[in-house]
Amino acid sequence: MWIINKTVNEILNLFLPENCLGCGQKNTYLCPECVNKMPAPPFGKDSRVLAATSYENPTIKKAIHALKYKKAGKIALPLAQLIEVRLHSIFNERGSTCLPVRQASIIIPVPMTKKRLRQRGFNQAEKIARHLSDITSLPLLTNVLYKNKETASQVDIKSREKRLKNLKNCFCVKNPEFIKDKNIFLLDDVFTTGATISECRKVLMKNGARRVTGVVVAC
Ligand SMILES: [Zn+2]
C-alpha cells in the first residue's frame, strides 16, 4: 500500500502548483509569514552542525520532500534564504569585518554518486548550496568532495553506528589544495543521525581543511 501512496505522491509533486507549502498563498513556495513561523532547531544534536529550523515543522517537511522533485527545484532558493537569515551571524562573523577569514571560507555540498545523480537528475544539497553561495558571496566548490560508492539507503538504517559503517570509505577528496586551511560550510538538506556529515568531515579534515561546519535546512 505504501508503494501506491508513494507513487501517487510523486505524481502529485510533479504538478506541484506554485502555492505556499504552509498556507497556500499563491506565487510562492514558501511565503515570508510561514518562514517567520518556523521554529528554532532543537539544541544538542551536534555542536558542529548548524540548522536553520526544526524538521518537526510540517511546512519544512513538505518543502524538503518537494525539493527532491525536479519541478520543485525553485524551493532551493527560499531554503537557502532561510539558512542565510537564520544563520546570518555565522556567515557574517566570518564575513565582511574580517576579510582574511572570509577569504578562507568556502561552501561544499554533500555529494551524491554519479549513478544516483543520473537517476535524480540533480543534487538537492548542491541546489541549495549554489543559492547560498550567491547570497553570501562565499565560493562554492563542487570539484573537491565526491561520493564514489553507492550505499544502502540511509533511511532504512536506523542506528547511527550502522549508518556510519554503511558510509565508511564512501567519500573521497580530489584537488585537496583547494581546501587547505579553509573553513568549510558543508551543506546538506536534513540532519538525521549526522552520519553523513560526520563521515564527510573526517575526509575533509584528513585532506587539510581547517574547520568543517555542517549547515542544514532542518534537524
Ligand atoms: Zn505561507
Spacing, Cα 117 to ligand 1 middle (Å): 31
pLDDT digits (tens, 9 = 90+) for 25-40: 998 889 989 988 999 9
Backbone angles phi, psi at 103, to 5 degrees: -65, -20
- pLDDT of 101 > 80? The answer is no
Spacing, Cα 49 to ligand 1 middle (Å): 27
Rounded to the nearest 10°, the torsion over CA 10, 11, 15, 16 is -30
- Compute the distance between CA of residue 205 and CA of residue 20 in angstroms, rounded to an integer: 39
pLDDT digits (tens, 9 = 90+) for 43-76: 777 888 999 999 999 999 999 998 887 656 789 9
Spacing, Cα 156 to ligand 1 middle (Å): 32
- Compute the distance between CA of residue 31 and CA of residue 22 in angstroms, rounded to an integer: 8
pLDDT at residue number 95? 47
Spacing, Cα 59 to ligand 1 middle (Å): 9
Q: What is the pTM of this model?
A: 0.85
Identity (one letter) of the amino acid at 126? E
8 Å CB contact between 213 and 188? no
Antiparallel, parallel or unpaired: β 183-190 and 105-109: parallel
Spacing, Cα 16 to ligand 1 middle (Å): 15
In the three-class reduction of DSSP (H, G, I as helix; E, B as strand; rest coil), residue 22 is classed as: coil
Spacing, Cα 191 to ligand 1 middle (Å): 24
Q: CATH classification of 2-218 is 3.40.50, yes or no?
A: yes
Spacing, Cα 110 to ligand 1 middle (Å): 28
Spacing, Cα 36 to ligand 1 middle (Å): 9
